Amino acid sequence: MTATSEPPKPTVVVFDVGQVLIEWDPRHLYRELFDGYEDLMEDFLDRVCTPAWNLEQDRGRPWSEAIAQLSAEHPDCAELIRAYDDMWERMVPDAIPGTPEILAELKARGVPVYAITNFSADKFELTRKRFDFLNGFDGIVVSGQERLVKPDQAIYRLLMDRYGLEPNQCYFIDDNPNNVEAAKSVGMSAHLFLGAEALRRDLAALGLL
């Protein structure tokens, strides 16, 4: 009888950024602008500045074009729509507790670290000035620069092709189940991020921490 060998363990960690390393939620801004009226805020975010609308900026659409188009469709909300761009940094209050420390520990151990993020190009440049740990990756793919967004398999393949990585080397971390499944579909191992403690346990089990 021939013993079956276990698949190789990943040696490279690939991070998502928003909601894994930094907190991002438009509610941080709009809760203030709507004076705490949660129902009105949620209606605005469901009907006007929707996740699908924001994703197009992550895909590379210029903010000026996005704001002008949406304001023409909802002229009564033009000031609130403009705030999405002008006050965007107020949607990002802080880092996610514990995850930047994990990133630093991986780097200290010599583990290669990469990132794939759905992020508009200009907002990412603003954000990396605030959070210096975003400048420490061995490589990063920013959707707004590439005009590709997760969960399109092409953005995962772009990272691997650009940096000479094999799928079975990569351990991908994301808070979105669709993005996690897409990573698995291209051959990566993947972790659905629910908090730093669980991530630390899984990385330790793999011998990466």
Where residue 124 sits, what CATH number does that domain have?
Answer: 3.40.50.1000
Tell me, yes or no, whether 18 and 32 share the same domain.
no
Tell me, yes or no, whether 65 and 103 share the same domain.
no
Residues of the chain with pLDDT under 50: 1
* Residue 3 belongs to some domain of the structure: no
* Residue 191 belongs to some domain of the structure: yes
Per residue in 26-77, pLDDT tens? Answer: 999 999 999 989 999 999 999 999 999 999 999 999 999 999 999 999 999 9
Per-residue confidence (pLDDT) for residue 5, from 0 to 100: 64
What contacts 24+ positions apart, CB below 8 Å, involve 152-158?
Answer: 152/182, 153/182, 153/185, 153/186, 155/116, 156/116, 156/182, 156/183, 156/186, 156/188, 157/186
φ/ψ region of 108 (left if φ > 0, alpha if ψ in -120 to 50, else beta) reads: alpha
Tell me, yes or no, whether 69 and 120 share the same domain.
no
* Residue 200 belongs to some domain of the structure: yes
Per-residue confidence (pLDDT) for residue 8, from 0 to 100: 84
C-alpha Rg value of the chain to the nearest Å = 19
Q: DSSP 3-state assignment of 116?
A: strand
In what order do the strands lie in the sheet containing 12-15? 139-142, 113-117, 12-15, 170-174, 189-192
How many domains does the structure of the chain reveal? 2
* Residue 121 belongs to some domain of the structure: yes
121 and 145 Cβ atoms separated by less than 8 Å: yes
**pTM for the full model?**
0.95
Could you give the angle at which helices 177-185 and 153-163 cross, rounded to 10 degrees?
60
User: Structural domain of residue 72, as residue ranges?
Assistant: 27-91
Give dist(CA 139, CA 91) in Å, integer.
25
Per-residue confidence (pLDDT) for residue 54, from 0 to 100: 98
Q: Which residues pair with 116 in a beta bridge?
A: 141
Could you tell me the two tokens for 6?
A: 């276990």
Per-residue confidence (pLDDT) for residue 7, from 0 to 100: 74
Task: Identify the CA nearest to 88 among candidates 61, 59, 57.
Answer: 57
Per-residue confidence (pLDDT) for residue 4, from 0 to 100: 56
